[in-house]
Amino acid sequence: MRDALRRLGPAWAALLALFATIVVAGLMLVAGGYDAGLAGGALVAGAVGSREALLSVTMVRSVPLILTGLAVALAFRAGVWNIGAEGQLYAGAVAGAWVGLSGGDLPAWVLVPAVLGASAGAGMMWALVPTVMKLRLGVGEVITTLLMNFVGINLAAYAVHGPLQEARGVFPQTDPIAAGARLPALFPGTRLHVGFLIAVALAVALWALLRWTRAGFVLRSVGAAPGAARVAGRMDARRTVWVAFLTSGALAGLAGGVEVSGVTFALYEGLSPGWGYTAIAVALLAGLHPGVVVVTGILFGALEGGAGSMQRVAGIPATWVIAVEALVILSVLAVDQLRRRVVRGGVHG
């Protein structure tokens, strides 16, 4: 058992964590008096049971999860505990919607990049505040990014109640964005949009950056062991934190812009059901590996996509999925601790 655990690679560790989650979640369902088998079946059917479910529900949901998951993974790799993807996503959504609304009849090749660029920029600005507070004032980013989430969520609420509210002035939402500001569908007749390709391309790019470039190596070193990075590597940790933090914010902001531009075509309150928080589970389960974030992003997309069907068929509240997401985080951390303890024991023994 000890040897097996010691040799456990990251992929197996993730699978073990997933297995533990399924077992505990099943026990919780049974304890709650539900039919766990029925619930699981409904969840799977709702998530991947048909082409429609897979392409229009699961994959569509996975896009913001992959993008925010990448944001979290990048920051965590650099030792920056950015818990603020949710707020950065909202900042990006507001900026993207604003550009999309004021686009008029500009062509798509101008407007789409403008929307996505504005959302990424806004996410970056949202991360700028905690970055400056961390590097200039020494304030921990866990608190500041978390608090900035509330500001971001309420910024979006203010926008749709005030300056960006629809012309009719009835609902707290914006008018539909310009036709040229919308991302094209990937397959005709489904809701899956080009944003998925953008997310996958960014995942590959980040993977290559971390794996093959000098900057990526510096980022991983600073995150893994700041002392060794500074002394042995003569690396500039502050600069690395700057770049990683702001890029992380940009990725999360992009998630908001892509959602507005690809799915909702409008901004409204409650645009995100907490993707920026789920992103932490997505990133941790992926072992902070950008390529794997695509897989875990789709997995969580399926979980959220299947939740509705589970509610209809087995009568289990869809919010129960949130508990499962929390379980994933706990399981990942537990497996990680277990591995560490065993490995450490091995070195001294």
Partner 1 sequence: MTQSFPARLHGITKRFGSVEALRGADLEVHAGEVHGVLGENGAGKTTLLNVLAGMLPPDAGVVEIGGEERVLRSPRDAWHAGVGMVHQHFTLVPTLSVLENLALGLRSAAWRLRLPLADISARVDELSRRTGLGVPLDVNVEHLGVGDRQRVEILKALLREPRVLVLDEPTAVLAPSEVQNLFGLLRDLADGGRAVVLVAHKLDEILGVAHRVTVLRRGRTVLAAHRSEVDAPELIRAMVGSAETDPIAVGAWKDDGTPMPRVPGEVVATLARARVWDGRGSWALDDATLDVRRGEVVGVAGVEGNGQHELALVLSGRSVPTEGSATVPDGVGFIPQDRTLEGLVGDFDLTSNVALGLHRDARFASGPGGMLVRWSALRAQTRDLLARFDVKAAGPGVRAATLSGGNQQRLVVARELEMARDLLVAENPTRGLDVAAAAFVHGELQRLGQADQPPGVVLISTDLDEVLALSHRIFVMVRGRLTSVPDGARSREGVGALMLAANHA
Pick the piece of the chain touching partner 1 (CB under 8 A) from 84-92, 172-180, 198-206, 341-349. Answer: 341-349
Q: At its nearest, how many Å lie between partner 1 and the CB of residue 141?
A: 19
User: Do 132 and 238 meet the contact criterion of CB atoms below 8 Å apart?
Assistant: no
By CB under 8 A, residue 232 contacts partner 1: yes
Q: Closer to partner 1 by CB, 88 or 221: give it.
A: 221
DSSP 262: I
Q: How far apart are CA 24 and CA 130, in angstroms?
A: 36
Q: How far apart are CA 76 and CA 229, in angstroms?
A: 16
By CB under 8 A, residue 347 contacts partner 1: yes
Contacts of 325 (CB under 8 A, 6+ apart): 278, 281, 300, 303
By CB under 8 A, residue 212 contacts partner 1: yes
Using alpha carbons only, how large is the chain's radius of gyration in Å?
A: 21
Of 218, 288, 293, 332, the residue at the interface with partner 1 (CB under 8 A) is: 218
Of 38, 194, 215, 295, the residue at the interface with partner 1 (CB under 8 A) is: 215
Q: At its nearest, how many Å lie between partner 1 and the CB of residue 339?
A: 11
Q: Which of 136, 119, 85 is nearest to 241 (CA)?
A: 136
Strand partners, 193: 185
Q: How far apart are CA 179 and CA 215, in angstroms?
A: 39
Q: At its nearest, how many Å lie between partner 1 and the CB of residue 136?
A: 18
Q: At its nearest, how many Å lie between partner 1 and the CB of residue 214?
A: 5
CA 276 to chain centre: 5
Of 50, 154, 213, 319, the residue at the interface with partner 1 (CB under 8 A) is: 213
Of 224, 323, 333, 334, the residue at the interface with partner 1 (CB under 8 A) is: 224
Binding site for partner 1 (CB under 8 A): 212-215, 217-218, 220-221, 224-225, 227-234, 343, 346-348
